[in-house]
Amino acid sequence: MPETFVIAQGGGPTAVINQTVVGAALEIRRRHPGAKVLGSRHGVRGIRDGDYVDLSGIPEDQLKLIGATPGAALGSTRDKPDAAYCDLVLAGLKKAGADAFIYIGGNDTSGTQQILTDASGGSIAFVHAPKTIDNDLMENDHTPGFISAGEFVAGAFLSVDLDFRALPGVYVGIVMGRHAGFLTAAAAAWRADEDSGPHLVYVPERPFSAPRFIDDVRMTLDRHKRCIVAVSEGVTTEDGRALVESIVPADKLERDAHGNIKLSGSDLNMAFERMLAEGLPGKRARVDALGYMPRGYVGAINSTDSSEAFEAGAFAVEVAARGGGSVALKHEGGKTVMRQVPLDAVAGKTRHMPDDFMQSDANQLSDTGMAYLKRLIPEKYRVGKPFV
Beta bridge partners of 54: 38
**How open is the CA angle 120-135-238, to the nearest 5 degrees?**
105
SS3 102: strand
The side-by-side arrangement of strands in the sheet containing 200-202 is: 200-202, 227-232, 170-175, 285-289
Q: How far apart are the first and last CA of the chain?
A: 71
Using CB atoms within 10 Å of the CB of residue 247, give its burial: 0 to 12 exposed, 13 to 18 middle, 19+ buried: middle
Catalytic-role residue among 79, 108, 134, 216: 134
Least Cα distance to 46 among 19, 99, 9 occurs for 9
Annotation says 134 is catalytic: yes
Between CA 120 and CA 112 the distance in angstroms is: 12
Q: Residue 29, CB half-sphere, CA atoms under 13 Å: how many?
A: 14
Contacts (Cβ under 8 Å, ≥6 apart) of 188: 154, 157, 198, 201, 230, 364, 365, 369, 370, 373
Contact 214, 222 (CB under 8 A): no
Prior bond to 198 cis, omega within 30?
yes
Q: What sections of the chain are H helices per DSSP? A: 17-31, 44-49, 60-67, 83-95, 107-120, 146-166, 182-185, 210-224, 266-279, 303-321, 367-376
> Which H or E run contains 52?
strand 52-54
Which of the 8 DSSP states describes residue 69? S
Q: How far is CA 215 from the centre of its chain?
A: 31
β-pairing verdict for 125-130 and 100-105: parallel
Between CA 245 and CA 177 the distance in angstroms is: 16
Q: Which residues does the annotation mark as catalytic?
A: 134
